[in-house]
A and B are shown apart, each in its own frame.
Chain A
Amino acid sequence: MSKDLQGLLNAIFDAENNALRTSSSSSSSGSLAVIGRTVVGVGGAASIDFTSIPADYESLRVVYAGRGTAAVTDVELRLRLNNDSAANYDWRNLFVSEGGITTATAAGETSARFAATIAASATAGKAGTAAILIPSYARTVFHKTMTGEIGYPLNETTGIRRAEATAVWRSTAAVTQITLLLSSGNFAEGSVATLYGQKGA
């Protein structure tokens, strides 16, 4: 992607963000506002970090669309909160794929797994998607339980996969930072991540 095109995209997104921020200031219960958004540029990104997340909302929603650069069909999509890389994450994923329905689970890991996203060996032009919900992120009573819906089409025939995920961060701290990671490689150019805040939900 050229720098001119990247600049134009950023300008459009900035304008949209500002409009949404303005509308959210008088928003009704349950409305979504864009807190942050990025489009990965030339060279890719090792990780995507949303920092200084305001505590103004009831829930956070991370929406991702993109792919990885590793020379495989798919890589694990991972998430960390508040840059905590200690063994504080538990998760279970449910996969629906050409092989049937399977699950995977782990406890005490250093990041939460949200199934997978496609990578360089998947059919060209495809993107993996994820929508991750973090309710009560600013409250400090309970550990943070997150849920996710993930789609990752490896090809146009049998490899159209779907996953559901639940993950827990063993901390009562308010969430101020969200980091998206891949198990190998980088986020490819053109991948998009958006952080929404939801009020009253």
Chain B
Amino acid sequence: MADKLIIDCSTGEESTEALTTAEEQDRATLAAESEAAATAEAGRTTRREQAAQRLRTIGSGTGTVSAADTRFIAKVLAVVVANMAVDPDA
């Protein structure tokens, strides 16, 4: 594992120090937190892609639009409108 790189701004001197045990543990914790966040984001991305695909299928005009599809469209529109920067009634 690489050392810490330290720049003393009062002298301009540069030095290196080995990580302490606590700092190594801190890095491991940070890596684990980052991995968990990445996994959660990947899940959100997958769900967004699935939702987009379902809308594309509904929009393709093939098949019947079910009541469940209609509710799904309404839910998506609610999210879109809630995030609109303009007045939706304007």
For residue B41, CB closer than 8 A to chain A, the reply is yes
Report the separation of the CA atoms of residues A45 and B1 in the bound assembly, to the nearest whole angstrom: 9
What is the total number of residues of chain A having a CB less than 8 Å from a CB of chain B?
Answer: 38
The total of Cβ contacts below 8 Å across the A-B interface reads 83
Q: Is A181 an interface residue (CB 8 A)?
A: yes
B19 within 8 A of A: yes
A125 sits at the interface (CB 8 A): no
**Of all chain B residues, which has the CB nearest A191?**
B5
What's the Cα separation between A86 and B37 when bound, in Å? Answer: 19
Report B1-56 residues with CB < 8 Å from chain A CB.
Answer: 1-12, 14, 16, 19, 23, 26-27, 29-31, 33-34, 37, 41, 45
Q: Which of A43, A104, A111, A184 interacts with B31 by CB under 8 Å?
A: A184
Q: How large is the interface on B (under 10, 10 to 19, 20 to 34, 35 or more residues)?
A: 20 to 34
- Majority SS at the chain B contact face: mixed
Complex Cα spacing A123 to B59, Å? 38
A and B contact pairs by CB, cutoff 8 A, 29 listed: A17-B12, A37-B7, A38-B7, A40-B5, A45-B3, A46-B23, A46-B27, A47-B4, A47-B5, A48-B7, A49-B5, A51-B7, A52-B8, A52-B10, A54-B9, A54-B10, A69-B2, A76-B30, A104-B41, A109-B33, A110-B26, A110-B30, A183-B31, A183-B34, A184-B27, A184-B30, A184-B31, A184-B34, A195-B9
Interface residues of B (CB under 8 A from A): 1-12, 14, 16, 19, 23, 26-27, 29-31, 33-34, 37, 41, 45
